[in-house]
Amino acid sequence: MAPAGRRMSPPLLLLLLCAGTLRATGAAEAVSPERSLVWGPGLRADIAVPVRYFYIQAVSEDGRNLTASPGNKSFKVSIKSLSTKEFVRIHVPDPLDRNDGSFLMRYRMYGSAGEGLVIEVRHHDQHVAHSPYILKGPVYHEYCDCPEEDPDIWQQTYSCPSSEEQISKDFAPFPSIDLKRMLEEVPKRFAESRGAIVHYTILNNQIYRRSLGKYTDFKMFSDEMLQSLARKVRLPDFEFYINVGDWPVEHRKANDTPGPLPMISWCGSSDSRDIILPTYDVTHSTLEALRGVTNDLLSIQGHTVQIPGEPRWDGGCVQVPVSHDGGQPGLEAGFPIL
């Protein structure tokens, strides 16, 4: 159903790949372990995400940030439980070379570390920056049902912005929401013909839902996103309708009578009022990162070839051209990735 987006012609892609290779073959500069920088949310115990991550910036002896890769084996990272008595299974791949002098370090925990974690970052045999980093426990893994009770504290911890421009804009036509009216109108207007609507209610941090229509299998993606959130923070009680179909559904204008209904969707367009969340491909790949998916928002940071051309917004789902696995266009997404 998704319209074809812009795709790059193979010769142009090849050219760009070649340019990237040439750039990377310059002589590697010496790295100073003391002056190099290490930072990011993956060094904090209280930020529980499916894949924790932090960055390493290679810095030269005279204090300049390297802007080319010093070699993809420049840094070694080890991540272990702080307690020798506690074994925690942690997937620790090599740092991802971003080819600009910086690296992205990802790790995925398959158990919680009660006492904490110790993270060592080394260049050859020397500790880098303030390594070893001690994360005082508990350090929770993705599947721990360990919600922070106070949503405000959670938002601060995760540095959530106090407002989000696109969401605010999408909600602007809905200064107040009449749930009773939605209960009557949503099934008639959106579920009978297309039938890809799911009605969610969150009550006491439990998730309840009912499907409205025949084409609601993709609720597995909205389910997993909400479940992941509910494990991390006690959600307020709320209720909403999500359209899990391929196209936006609400085409009434803000000043029409009757007015539009606030429908959550994964796809929008310039002539619809749907409220857009990151699409299932983005949320699913984020939840499943380092477990087989390769087109998640972290992995693609290793694909540093620049793609010209902006994905467009005025259709159904946007096909974003992301270069991975030999430049296949992939990752259908509700917002631009690169």
Ligand X SMILES: *[C@@H]1O[C@H](CO)[C@@H](O)[C@H](O)[C@H]1NC(C)=O
Residues that bind ligand X (CB under 6 A): 37, 57, 65, 72, 94, 97
Q: Which residues contact 172 (CB under 8 A, 6 or more apart)?
A: 254
Q: Which is nearer to ligand X, 129 or 135 (CB)?
A: 129
Q: Which is nearer to ligand X, 72 or 228 (CB)?
A: 72
Q: How far is the CB of 262 from ligand X (least distance, A)?
A: 39
Supply 286's token pair: 């984020």
Neighbour-count burial of 196, counting CB atoms closer than 10 A to its CB (0-12 exposed, 13-18 middle, 19+ buried): buried
Q: How far is the CB of 21 from ligand X (least distance, A)?
A: 9
Taken in order 78, 79, 83, 87, is the CA torsion positive or negative? Answer: negative
Q: Which is nearer to ligand X, 104 or 263 (CB)?
A: 104
Q: Which is nearer to ligand X, 38 or 198 (CB)?
A: 38
Q: How far is the CB of 155 from ligand X (least distance, A)?
A: 24
Measured CA to CA, the distance from residue 160 to residue 163 in angstroms comes to: 8
CB 75 within 8 A of CB 66: no
Q: How many helices (H) and strands (E) does the chain have?
A: 6, 16
Q: How far is the CB of 146 from ligand X (least distance, A)?
A: 31
Q: Which is nearer to ligand X, 95 or 262 (CB)?
A: 95
Q: Beta strand pairing status for 275-276 and 264-265?
A: parallel
Q: How far is the CB of 284 from ligand X (least distance, A)?
A: 24
